[in-house]
Chain A
Amino acid sequence: MTTFDAAVPTAQPSLAARFRLPSGPIQFLGFDKDYWRLWIRGSFLLALTLGIYRFWLTTDTRQFLWSNTEVLGEPLEYTGTARELLIGFLIAVAILIPFYAFIFLLALTQGAIGQLAGVIGFALATILGHYAVFRARRYRLTRTVYRGVRFHQTGSAWLYAIMAVLWWTLVILTLGLAYPIALSRLERFKMRNTWIGNLQGRFEGSAFGLFIRGLFMWLVVIGPLIAALVAFILALDMKLLWELALMADDDAALTRLLQDHPNVAFASAFGIGAITWSMLAGMLLYPVFQAMVLRWWSSGLRFGEMAASSTLRTGEVYFTYLRYIGWSMVFSTIATFVLIAGGAAGGALLWTTGVTQKEWFSDVGSIGAAILGVVIYVAFALGYAAIYQVKVRLGLWRAVANSTGLANPAALETISSVGAPASSVGEGLADALNVGGF
């Protein structure tokens, strides 16, 4: 069994042919309706249990995505359990409570340290967040099994956290220009430490290639913002600005600012135009950007001799988002209609029974209204989340899986088992810090 053809089991009924799925080496065979069922039921239970059900929903979701993804005819397997996630979360809470208490005490300290407590807390939480992301990845990999062989991850999570913070700081300082190099360096670190049994992964996506491909988009979206900023700085007289900053009355200062700087009004108008343009262009180009990064990412993945390649089409990512927006609009319309009809009926009922006139109604009514508000909010939020899951997350997963090709897949046939399951603390931390990924 050295060629790809021989590796595809003949016994497997050709689902790909029946449902006109692409017949590449990686196939996603799951159906939308099963995922819908998972998430609609899960959303109800999430609301009912104030979110405790999320450990089960996350596990079900992963099990669905993994086990429906076939590589060379063999499905991936997710062996993680909800119980592990729950325990990981409880451990994370035990770690984070002293952390929060420390930040709280810091905030009560007099002087500069007290003033900076928020900043210190944010910095520590950011590092901890990246640490958690890397350890959560380790948990997921060690719960991923292919052909009876476990994935695993080596490397220090603290090292990754420090690298990630430094790279992302650079990305912010360069207004996004450093994004390709940051992404490629971090991905290299992650993939170098990723193993299927004894088969080591690596990442060969070129930062420069991504930079060149993305530069045009960057100029279109960020360029006008920079131009507006430069125009604004040129229009200002720094010495006068300092004087105005010392003036206590804001209104007077603004009047004088506009009087003494006729160009400021122009620069401000230009600035508003630039921001509007950037937001519009950003929204329109986001799917293009995401398709580009996904294509670049999956084409850069390597495991030993095996190399991935991607033929992901930009149009497919676009339609994924269009479908999401369409479904969301339908949901909003129906939900709003139900809300208005229900509100009218409920109001009429209250009015006719005369409870609104009662003495106690102002108390009970206000608490009832607040509870109703929460319920409606939760229903909307969970509805959009479920639509996002099915339309965007599942849609993109399927699109990436089906568009990925593998060169030298024979490398997957001769792997030996190495590695043991890792703890779920990282997942718990990521969950508690709200930085969870898949």
Chain B
Amino acid sequence: MTTSGQATYFDGVTSARHDVTVTLGASALQILGSDGQMLAEWPYAELESIPLPQGLLRIGRIDNLVLARLDVRDPKLAAAIDDLSVPIDRSGRTERRGRRKVVLWSVAATVSLLLVGIFGVPEIASRLTPLVPYAAEIRLGAAVEAQVRSILDKNRAGARFVCGSGEAEQAGRAAFEKMFARLEQAAGQPIPLRIMVVRSDDANAVTLPGGIIYVFHGLIDKAENADEVAGVIAHELGHVAHRDGTRTVLQQGAMSLLFGLLLGDFVGGGAVIIAARAILQTSYSRGVEASADDYAVDLMKVLGADPRALGTILTRIAGSSHGPLKLLLDHPETKERVNAINARAGTGTITPVLAPAEWADLRRICSEPKG
């Protein structure tokens, strides 16, 4: 076995290059200068190999802030040192084992993160939502409303974006307010509600945190009677009562923390994060919409209005719209929902929420040209 050979030594104090002779002792290797003087003695147990391209073994000392280096180019001497020193591992087996552990635990972390995303976050958000003070919710609503407004108001109509201010729209507004007053009284929410009809052609309605409801003009166009509009508003009131807007904000915040910040971004993984969140979001919204439907049916029954009207307008809009833009975006399959609504509606006498003349007025709430 080789017991000595030539190598290059850098002492870690200066950049000077020393051509040295290495002698392999019993428990340490000795580094001898060209004049035969011992420059250093390194115990085998304290050696570490530094990854370098093939054909060169570079040795340092473990946890030593002085970066002394021994470069061994002689393959026989390198093999002998590898045999004598336990920490030196030129085959890379230790390194690979460590790597495998990292990958396995990362996958485990990913799985647990997804599980928390699917089951944990909705549960936590649901528990936290009732604890959020209404004052905070109203504030949140104002901030969200500014954003939503700028997205929806494509023509930058400003104040004119809300219907009912024009001369010809006054009667419609009165009818709408009368209808909403009945719904609001029956709902009896602890938060002041703010509802408006806006000039947007989508057959849709949205509820923001803080009791803000936007009814799109397109919805009134599509409706055949006042109870259908009232049914949709009752559904939105369900979201207000369950504080779904606040819960969504809490959920979104938690999800963006989980996926965005903790996992970081790799090669523009932003899209992945958004997609993952969208998937989880749809699975949340199913239960949420179903319970808002239940609330709507109950509320309509209290008013003596037609509890099935919500189902009727849902079916009509789902039939006429195509593509991803379904009614009340995110809402679960219409057929299922309508069946659930009808099952809950039961039988009873029905008095329309508005007289026919009032309904005719309501249809003209956005009659003035926009702009």
Residues of A within 8 A of B (CB): 1, 7, 9, 11-13, 29-30, 45-46, 48-54, 56, 63, 67-68, 74-75, 77, 79, 82, 89, 93, 96-97, 100, 104, 107-108, 110, 114, 145-150, 196-197, 248-250, 252, 362-363, 366-367, 370-371, 373-374, 377-378, 381-382, 384-385, 412-417, 420-421, 431-432, 434
Contacts and interface: CB of A to CB of B under 8 A. Distances in A.
Interface in B249-268: 253, 257, 261-268
Given A49-B106, A67-B51, A145 B271 contact: no
B103 A248 contact: no
A413 B15 contact: yes
A377 B73 contact: no
A248 B50 contact: no
Given A48-B107, A53-B103, A148-B69, 13 more contacts: A1-B17, A51-B263, A67-B53, A89-B264, A110-B139, A147-B10, A149-B67, A248-B371, A370-B278, A384-B267, A415-B14, A415-B15, A416-B15
Contacts of B257: 97
Given A68-B53, A146-B15, A147-B17, A371 B279 contact: yes
Contacts of A29: 53
Interface string B54-75: 0110100000011111000100
Contacts of A145: 67, 69
A422 to B, nearest CB: 13
Given A51-B264, A53-B103, A370 B52 contact: no
B46 interface: no
Contact of B52 (A75, A421, A434): A75
17 contacts: A48-B103, A49-B106, A51-B265, A51-B269, A53-B106, A54-B264, A82-B102, A93-B261, A148-B15, A248-B155, A248-B160, A371-B279, A374-B272, A377-B271, A416-B15, A432-B264, A434-B265
Given A48-B103, A250-B156, A148 B12 contact: yes
Interface residues of B, number: 62
Contacts of A150: 67
B262 A381 contact: no
Given A147-B10, A149-B14, A45 B103 contact: yes
B80 interface: no
Contacts of A381: 267-269
Contacts of B103: 45, 48-49, 53
A52 B109 contact: yes
A148 B140 contact: no
Contacts of B102: 52-53, 56, 82
B329 interface: no
A75 B106 contact: no
Contacts of A250: 155-156
Nearest to A250: B155
B271 to A, nearest CB: 6
B339 interface: no
Given A75-B56, A97-B257, A378-B272, A11 B73 contact: yes
The 5 A-B residue pairs with the shortest CB-CB distance in the complex, in nearest-first order? A148-B10, A49-B106, A249-B371, A51-B266, A415-B15
A148 B11 contact: yes
A268 to B, nearest CB: 21
A92 B56 CA distance: 37
B58 to A, nearest CB: 7
Given A370-B278, A417-B14, A50 B263 contact: yes
Contact of A370 (B10, B107, B267, B279): B279
Given A77-B52, A377-B271, A367 B282 contact: yes
B52 A67 contact: yes
Contacts of B13: 148, 416-417
B171 to A, nearest CB: 24
Given A51-B263, A93-B262, A420 B65 contact: yes
A248 B67 CA distance: 71
A249 to B, nearest CB: 4
Interface of B: 6, 8, 10-17, 50-53, 55-56, 58, 65-69, 73, 99, 102-103, 106-107, 109-110, 113, 139-140, 142-143, 155-158, 160, 253, 257, 261-269, 271-272, 275-276, 278-279, 282-283, 333, 370-371
Nearest to B272: A374
A49 B275 contact: no
Given A110-B139, A148-B12, A100 B261 contact: yes
Contacts of B155: 248-250
Contacts of B109: 49, 52
A20 B85 CA distance: 37
A97 B10 contact: no
A362 B6 CA distance: 72
Contacts of B10: 147-149
Contacts of A371: 279
B103 to A, nearest CB: 6
A52 B178 CA distance: 57
Nearest to B143: A108
B246 to A, nearest CB: 12
B282 to A, nearest CB: 7
Contacts of B275: 370, 373-374, 377
Contact of A417 (B6, B12, B58, B278): B12
Contacts of B69: 77, 145, 147-148
Nearest to A57: B266
Contacts of A416: 13-15
Contacts of B268: 381
A107 B275 CA distance: 25
Contact of A374 (B99, B142, B276): B276
Contacts of A89: 264
A145 B58 CA distance: 12
A9 B55 CA distance: 14
A248 B8 CA distance: 80
A420 B160 CA distance: 66
A7 B19 CA distance: 12
A49 B107 contact: yes
Nearest to A371: B279
Nearest to A252: B371
Contacts of B110: 48-50, 52
Contacts of B269: 50-51, 378, 381
B262 A149 contact: no
Given A148-B67, A377-B275, A385 B143 contact: no
Given A148-B68, A417-B14, A79 B261 contact: no
A378 B69 CA distance: 42
B284 to A, nearest CB: 13
A53 B267 CA distance: 13
Contacts of A196: 15
Contacts of B53: 29-30, 67-68, 75
A52 B110 CA distance: 9
A170 to B, nearest CB: 29
A48 B107 CA distance: 6
A356 to B, nearest CB: 15
